[in-house]
Amino acid sequence: MEKMVNIKIDGKLLTVPDGQNLVNAAKDNGIFIPSLCYFEHIEPPLGTCRTCTCKLDGKYQPACTMKVHDGMTVEVNTPELLDMRKSLVEMMFSEGNHFCPSCEKSGNCDLQHMAYELGISVTRFEHLFKDRMIDYGSKRIIMEHNRCIKCKRCVEDVVTDDGKKVFTYQGRGNETFVGIDYKEEPKLSEQQAIAAMELCPTGAIIVRGVSMAHPFGEREFDINSEQKNFTRRFPKSHKPAGMEKKVLATASLAGCFGCHMSMLDIDLELLDLVELVTFNKSPLTDIKKFTGRCHIGLIEGGVCNDENIETLKEFRKMCDILVSVGECAVWGGLPAMRNTIPLSECLEEAYLNCVTSEEGANLVPYHEDLPKILDKIYACHDIVKIDHFIPGCPPSANHIWKSVKHLLWGEEYSILYSEFKYD
């Protein structure tokens, strides 16, 4: 029989096996400590991502590098720690270039999953859009450096049968990336290569031809939360009684109208909604100019030109509440794929050098009447203050309208795990 010890997590007394890893000890007792780099059989634990930071006997420590001992006191869910852990995951999103809607791993991704569990709808940090490459140098494995969070799992765990490392960090500081050995990689068996892809908590290691086996929407992290009480409830707030009629405006900036389509996606409920709101300026009504103040403005799309800036500023002036709807508005989304590439390269590719451009084309359009294109795509909150963020590409109709009703009439609402998505 293993020796049992008593520890206290958030005031709750638990009896656990002596020396057990704290993340596991907590998990066995239904307490969720977010972890990303922790991989049970790697010892000593990697301790790289820091998302498991807790307060252990009064000191901030990553839980995954701690073994429990008798009398240990652990704080997990204090507001400060919750926020700190959330910020670490946010950092990973702002540091990498994560375009979930176009990622093979979406739905099976630990990073994405952790962000869902923590309810991250927007990062507090500016997205850095550092230019990173995709390494197609090996025959079988693709390294997508935009998505790697440097957890070190692959570095420690993927070795060939003769004991050589296939992956190792290269460079230092913010330039660090995981290098793959073109000569050793082919020595992995197909199974070992797939195991490497699966061990990667993100979509950074992709094995050609097998990454899309399982349909999106039905993947491991698409449906159920790890936390018993995931649902994030927004209690009824104090707003004037009765559902007085409200005025709405919407705009699509650098977006694809997908979010607008999603807004219409509530089927019959739409009929109830029209009873409650009137639309002012919006592509849905085709009203081009504001005719009065609005209670709420919904913005789809990021900011890619000076006209977008004007529109956005106008919305800010005319709307009491402004909401970024969808990934593009929230941080740039798919159009922001151009953010790591100089504007001149993008324009010249589009107008001069691409296969469909006309023979002898030598002009990038520029005219006083044309909107001026910005050096990159900006999030709406880089330009004006945004009050609320709804992630998703597009967000589910339910998520949009529940939020709107809450913001307008203070209605209680809750977002289910399955409604909270980035893809």
Partner 1 sequence: MKELFPVEPMRSSLLDKLWDLQNNNRYISDSDISHLAAELNISAVEVEGVVSFYHFFHRKPSGKYTIYIDDSIIARYKGYHRIVEAFERETGATLGSVDRTGTFGLFSTPCIGLSDQAPAVLINFRPFTQLNVIKVKELVQQLRNGVDIDQMYHPPVSNVCTTIYSKKNIFFNSYTPGKAVKELTKHTSDDILSLLRDTNLSGRGGAFYPTWKKWEACRSYTADYKFIVCNADEGEPGTFKDRVLLQELPGLLIEGMIISGFTVNAQYGIIYLRGEYWWLYDQLQKTIDEFYKLGLLGKDIVGITGFNFDVRIQMGAGAYVCGEETAMLESMEGHRGEPRTKWFYPVEKGYLKSPTIINNVETICAAARIVELGVNEYNKTGLPGSPGTKLISVSGDCQNPGVYEIPWGITVAELLELCVAVDPYYIQVSGPSGECISINEKFRRISMLDLLGLPDLRCGGSFMIFNKEREIIDILLNFASFFKKESCGICTPCRAGNFIIERKLEKLKNKLARQSDIDDMISWGHIIKTTSRCGLGKTSCNSLVMAMQKFGGYFDKLIDKKEDSLMVGFNIEEAVADYEQYKS
Whose Cβ is closer to ligand SF4: residue 301's or residue 391's? Answer: 391
Both structure tokens of 50? 């820091």
Per rule CB under 6 A, count of chain residues that contact ligand FES: 12
Closest approach of Cβ 74 to ligand SF4, in Å?
A: 22
Read off the amino acid at residue 251: A
Closest approach of Cβ 103 to ligand SF4, in Å?
A: 3
Sheet of strand 277-279, all strands in order from the earlier edge strand to the far edge: 277-279, 246-252, 294-300, 319-325, 388-390
Q: Is 202 in the site for ligand SF4 (CB under 6 A)?
A: yes
Read off the amino acid at residue 368: E
Q: Is 68 in the site for ligand SF4 (CB under 6 A)?
A: no
What angle do helix axes 79-95 and 110-117 make, rounded to 10 degrees? 140
Per rule CB under 6 A, count of chain residues that contact ligand SF4: 25
Whose Cβ is closer to ligand FES: residue 94's or residue 398's? Answer: 94
CB distance 248 to 278 below 8 Å: yes
Q: Which of 54, 74, 118, 204 is in the footprint of ligand SF4 by CB under 6 A? A: 204
Q: Is 421 in the site for ligand SF4 (CB under 6 A)?
A: no
CB distance 60 to 71 below 8 Å: no
Closest approach of Cβ 104 to ligand SF4, in Å?
A: 7
Residue span binding ligand SF4 (CB under 6 A) among the ranges 64-72, 108-116, 325-333, 352-360: 108-116
Both structure tokens of 363? 């002009």
Residue span binding ligand SF4 (CB under 6 A) among the ranges 103-111, 231-239, 317-325, 364-372: 103-111
Q: Where on the chain is the footprint of partner 1 (CB under 8 A)?
A: 44-51, 53, 60, 62, 65, 84, 87-88, 91-92, 94-95, 124-126, 128, 130, 149-150, 152, 160, 164-176, 179-181, 183-184, 306, 309, 313, 316-317, 342-344, 347, 363-366, 372-376, 378, 381-385
Q: Could you give the 3-state DSSP secondary structure of residue 23?
A: helix
CB neighbourhood size of 214 (10 A): 12
Q: Could you give the 3-state DSSP secondary structure of residue 322?
A: strand
The whole-angstrom separation of Cα 165 and Cα 200 is 15
Q: Is 120 in the site for ligand SF4 (CB under 6 A)?
A: no
Whose Cβ is closer to ligand SF4: residue 66's or residue 151's? Answer: 151
Q: Which of 103, 122, 206, 253 is in the footprint of ligand SF4 by CB under 6 A? A: 103
Closest approach of Cβ 383 to partner 1, in Å?
A: 6
The whole-angstrom separation of Cα 70 and Cα 7 is 6
Read off the amino acid at residue 326: G
DSSP 8-state class, residue 287? B
List C-alpha distances in Å: 52 to 82, 113, 199, 263, 309. Answer: 10, 15, 18, 37, 39
Q: Is 92 in the site for ligand FES (CB under 6 A)?
A: no
Query: Can you say whether the dihedral through the CA atoms of 140, 138, 103, 344 is positive or negative?
Result: negative
Residue numbers 26-65 binding ligand FES by CB under 6 A: 35-38, 47-52, 62, 64
The whole-angstrom separation of Cα 137 and Cα 181 is 9
Q: Is 397 in the site for ligand FES (CB under 6 A)?
A: no
DSSP 8-state class, residue 353? I
Q: Is 20 in the site for ligand FES (CB under 6 A)?
A: no
Q: Could you give the 3-state DSSP secondary structure of residue 388?
A: strand
Closest approach of Cβ 52 to ligand FES, in Å?
A: 3
**Site residues, ligand SF4 (CB under 6 A):** 98-100, 103, 105-106, 109, 111-112, 147-154, 167, 178, 200-205
**Site residues, ligand FES (CB under 6 A):** 35-38, 47-52, 62, 64
